[in-house]
Amino acid sequence: MLQSSQQGSLRFFALLSGAIAATASLALFNITGCCLVRAELQNSPKALVDEVWQIVNHDYVDGTFNHVDWQATRQSLLSKNYTSREQAYTAIQEALKRLGDPYTRFMNPEEYQTLTDETAGETSGVGIMIDKKEDTGQIIVENVLEKSPAFKAGIKIGDEILVIDGKSTQGLRWEDISKLLHGQVGTPINLLIGRPLHRNFQLKLTRANLELPTVNYTLKSSGSKRIGYIRLTEFSATSPNEMRRAIQALNAQHVDGYLLDLRDDPGGLVDSSVAIARMWLNDGVIVREVDRMGNTEVSKADQTALTQQPLVVLVDGNSASASEILTAALKDNNRAVVVGSQTFGKAIVQSVHSLSDGSGLAVTVEHYFTPKGTDIGHKGITPDVRIDLTQTQQQQLEANPTLFGTQSDPQCTRAIAILENV
């Protein structure tokens, strides 16, 4: 999860593939002895290296830096000559590895921009989500956003993107493909599309501003019960408003209970997680965060819950960080029954900083604890009702995501049965 910190950076709980916040201002710190070095390094790759070192030195959650001599690391970094940004990037990555923390990581400008767009909940483009096949290198359309330029032009799931603005997608890196698809709102983009059993065809589209939905909901009838099913895929900046609209729409349909599906949700923004927890909880602690100095920040419910109807939460091994914060808050406060598989177990907080050349840095700055004081790190949350999918069941759901929340979804079926008996 992400939220603004006092230094103007952003904090988040997310998997390695998780996203960062919509905006992140440059966080520079006045550390004794650094000013002369900064002046000498202005406009050189070394400036970026030192910028990263200073942020980690100021913020990193472990004051021993994994028992690494961090001052000696700085001297080593600044003793080298870097002839390109790429050399500086490599040096930064090698230095961060010594911390032994996969969540403290450097992102090049393309990676940083992509992740920023995701958790901002909006981006510019044509509205397609793509997947690169490892065996063939094909770029396949995985999803098409409704009302997007791609949707209006008739692009379908399963189409292959062959050429983007005259450049073949074969052999291109993922970052290069993403960069070609994105661009300024209002600019044109030309695609060559391949479709099974059809001849290849050209499409000229215009990039638009797109909202990336993170909440889907529907009304399910089971026996005499009306159940509101809500699936949350990520905690982005727009997720609280989306969740609020979903709960209000289902309230208007007089549901008897709710099923909140957090499976495969890797996390996102801190503020979004807390805001969504408050929509379900009237009272109680949501999360406790502790920094390296032992300072504690406690987030609580504030009497703004939108419903008191029975609630079941669905989780699995890919439910992480922000998902675990929300799940633990609802579980520890006896607000929900948790169903599914053991969660991921990520109990640390990152601060995300934009760097002077457009790249980004995520730094672990805090540990968090559940309302009952539990550290779920590397352990996860144990569901109240544990039901693990078989490998075959998991593969079926992954191959056809539309089966989530249906009778072909064993975890969902069990959750609905619980709500029927409340």
Question: Of 271, 331, 346, 354, which is the active-site residue?
Answer: 346
Decide if 264 is catalytic: no
Query: Under a CB-based contact definition with an 8 Å cutoff, are residues 268 and 2 in contact?
Result: yes
Question: Of 332, 341, 351, 359, which is the active-site residue?
Answer: 332
Q: How far apart are CA 337 and CA 284, in angstroms?
A: 16
- Token couple for 153: 């032009």
Average of per-residue pLDDT across 62-81 = 97
Angle at 207 between CA 206 and CA 213, to 5 degrees: 130
Average of per-residue pLDDT across 253-280 = 96
Separation in Å, CA 311 to CA 16, 219, 259, 330: 30, 14, 6, 9
Q: Which of 81-85, 119-123, 156-160, 405-409 has the lowest mean pLDDT?
A: 119-123
Question: Of 321, 351, 354, 359, which is the active-site residue?
Answer: 321
Residue 284 scores a pLDDT above 50: yes
Decide if 332 is catalytic: yes
At residue 132, the pLDDT reads 82
Q: How far apart are CA 360 and CA 355, in angstroms?
A: 5
List of E strands, 86-224:
105-107, 122-125, 128-132, 139-144, 160-164, 167-168, 188-194, 201-206, 208-211, 215-222
Give the type of residue at 241: N
Q: How far apart are CA 344 and CA 319, in angstroms?
A: 6
For residue 311, what are the contacts with CB-CB under 8 A and spacing of at least 6? 257, 258, 259, 260, 280, 330, 335, 336, 337
Q: Which residues pair with 300 in a beta bridge?
A: 285
Structure letter (DSSP) for residue 61: S
Q: Which residues of the chain are in CATH 3.90.226.10 domains?
A: 1-120+213-422
Reported as half-sphere exposure (CB side, CA atoms, 13 A), residue 172 has a value of 21
SS3 111: helix
Model confidence over 142-170: pLDDT tens digits? 889 888 999 999 999 999 999 999 999 99
List of E strands, 196-347:
201-206, 208-211, 215-222, 225-232, 257-261, 267-269, 285-291, 296-300, 311-315, 337-340
End-to-end CA distance of the chain: 32
Decide if 346 is catalytic: yes
CATH 2.30.42.10 fits 122-211, yes or no: yes
At residue 32, the pLDDT reads 27
Query: Under a CB-based contact definition with an 8 Å cutoff, are residues 130 and 139 in contact?
Result: yes
Question: What are the φ and ψ backbone dihedral angles of 405, each rounded to 5 degrees?
Answer: 80, 10
At residue 130, the pLDDT reads 87
Listed residue (116, 88, 107) closest to 361, CA to CA: 107
| CATH code given to domain 1-120+213-422 | 3.90.226.10
R_g (Cα) of the chain, nearest Å: 23
Output the DSSP codes for 297-335: EEEE--S--S--S-EEEEE-TT--THHHHHHHHHHHTT-
Average of per-residue pLDDT across 61-85 = 96
- Mean pLDDT, the chain, rounded, equals 88
Q: Which residues of the chain are in CATH 2.30.42.10 domains?
A: 122-211
For residue 157, what are the contacts with CB-CB under 8 A and spacing of at least 6? 141, 142, 143, 144
Q: Higher confidence at residue 30 or residue 130?
A: 130
Listed residue (347, 365, 350) closest to 59, CA to CA: 365
For residue 190, what are the contacts with CB-CB under 8 A and spacing of at least 6? 163, 164, 165, 166, 202, 203, 204, 205
Model confidence over 380-390: pLDDT tens digits? 999 999 999 99
